[in-house]
Structure 1
Amino acid sequence: MSLFAVILAGGQGRRMGGADKALLTLAGQPLIAHVIARLRPQAGRLLISANGDAARFAFTGLEVLPDETSLGPLAGILAGLRAAKTAGATALISVPVDAPFLPDNLITRLATALPGPGFARAGGRDHNATAIWPVTLADALAGFLASGAKPKIADFAAHHGACPVDFPDTGAFDNLNTPEDLARANIRSEGRPV
C-alpha cells in the first residue's frame, strides 16, 4: 500500500494578521518544517498544497501543488489526490500546516479506516483536515467542489462514510491559529508548562 501525504499550506492566515503560517517560526524552525519532520518517517511521499510563489518552499525539497480553485482546504486535498493517484498511490493523508505536534503513528492509525476515508478524533473533537482519503475519491471531490455546495471537509467526508479514528493525545492536533496559540506552542516546545 502506497500512502502519500499533503500538507495544506494554502490558508490566508487571517487570525495571524495575514502571515504565511507555514513560514512562522516555532522553536527556531518554520511551522512547515515541524510538520514535515513528523510526517517524513511515516509517508511514502510528501507534497505541499499552496498557492502563490512556490519558491518560498524550495528549502523543503517538496513538490508544491497549486489549487485549481480557491475553495479552501478541499481544493488542496483534491490537488493532492490527483497527484497521488497519478503516481500510483492508494491513499492520501491530509494535514494542516499549523498542526506541528502530530503523533508519530498518525498515518498507521488513520490507515485503519481504509478502504474508506477517515479523520482524526481526539478528546471527542473531530479534526477533519487531518484525514485519510482513498485516491478513488478524486473525481467525486472534483464534482463536489464544482456543484456549488459550500466546500466543508466534514460534509464531503460524511457523504462518503468517513469514520473517526481515535487518538489519545488531545494536544497532538492543536492548530496554531492566533499569535497567542503560537506563543503557547513555543512554551510547550521548550518543555515548560503552558
Structure 2
Amino acid sequence: MDPESFCAVVLAGGRGSRLGGVDKAAVEVDGRTLLAHALDAVREAAEVVVVGEEARTAPPGRPVTFVVEEPRHGGPAAGLLTGCDALVRTPAQAPRVAVVAVDMPRLTAATVRRLHAAARGRDGAVLVGPDGRRQLALVVDRVRLAAVAPGPEDRNGTAVWRLLEPLDLAEVAATGQEHRDVDTWTDVRDLDVP
C-alpha cells in the first residue's frame, strides 16, 4: 500500500463521561497514551487529523492537525466529517481516509493495511468484532463519503452507521484484541482478558 494514498482521522472527542470526565486520549495503556496508540495505527497515512482537544505534548514522530468537531460534542459522525473537512490533501491526492477511534489501543498499522486491502473495488471496509458489531475502525473512499455526508447543520447526533449505511463496506473480522475499546476503567483493567 502506498502511504501517500490515504489520510487518517482519529476520533478523540467526546466527554469521557464513563471515565469520570477524564480525557480519554490521555489515558495510558501499556505505558503509552491512547492517542499515541491510535497515531501508531495510522502512521503510514500521508496526513493525520485528530478530532479532539489538542494534546499538551506534540505527538511523537510527525505533525498532526487537531480540530474540534462541529458541532461541539456532536458525536462520532460529526467528528468524522469535521476531520475530513480539515484534511489538506484532496481526494485526488489521497483517495481514501482511515478512521480510527482513539479508544482502541490494540489497533495496529497491520489492521489498517487489512482494511485497505478489503476495500479494493468497494466504497471501503470496516472492522467487525467477534460479536458481529461494526467497530469505529474503517477505511472509506473520500468521494463516496462526501456524496452521502449531510451538511454541517445536519451533523449533530447523526449516527456513524446511519451516515455510512449507503456505502458498500466490506466487513473485516478482527483478530486478537484489535476490536477492544476502552470506555470505562474496568475496560482498561480487563483490556487483555479474552
What's the TM-score once normalised by structure 1's chain length? 0.81
Distance verdict in 2 for CA 1:183–1:55, change over 3 Å? closer
Distance verdict in 2 for CA 1:31–1:63, change over 3 Å? same
Aligned residue number for residue 190 of structure 2: 184
Contact kept in structure 2, 1:85 and 1:135, CA below 8 Å: no
Aligned residue number for residue 69 of structure 2: 67
Q: Determine the C-alpha separation between the residues in 2 that align with 1:21 and 1:113.
A: 29
1:140 aligns with 2:148: yes
Cα RMSD (Å): 2.4
Unaligned runs of 5+ in 2: none
Alignment of 1:14-25 (within 5 A): 14-25=17-28
- Out of 162, 172, 178, the residue aligned to residue 169 of structure 2 is 162
Letter in 2 for 1:138: A
My pick for the range that moved more, 85-94 or 96-105, is: 85-94
Q: Determine the C-alpha separation between the residues in 2 that align with 1:131 and 1:139.
A: 17
What's the TM-score once normalised by structure 2's chain length? 0.81
Distance verdict in 2 for CA 1:29–1:154, change over 3 Å? same
The Cα shift of 1:8 comes to 0.5
Q: Determine the C-alpha separation between the residues in 1 that align with 2:164 and 2:135.
A: 8
Unaligned runs of 5+ in 1: none
Letter in 2 for 1:78: L
Distance verdict in 2 for CA 1:164–1:146, change over 3 Å? farther
Contact kept in structure 1, 2:77 and 2:157, CA below 8 Å: no
Distance verdict in 2 for CA 1:104–1:21, change over 3 Å? same
Alignment of 1:90-169 (within 5 A): 90-111=95-116, 112-114=118-120, 115-136=122-143, 137-143=145-151, 146-147=153-154, 150-169=157-176
Paired positions, count:
183
Aligned residue number for residue 38 of structure 1: 41
Q: Determine the C-alpha separation between the residues in 1 that align with 2:107 and 2:175.
A: 12
Give 1 or 2: higher helix fraction.
1
The Cα shift of 1:85 comes to 6.6
Overall identity of the aligned pairs, in %: 25
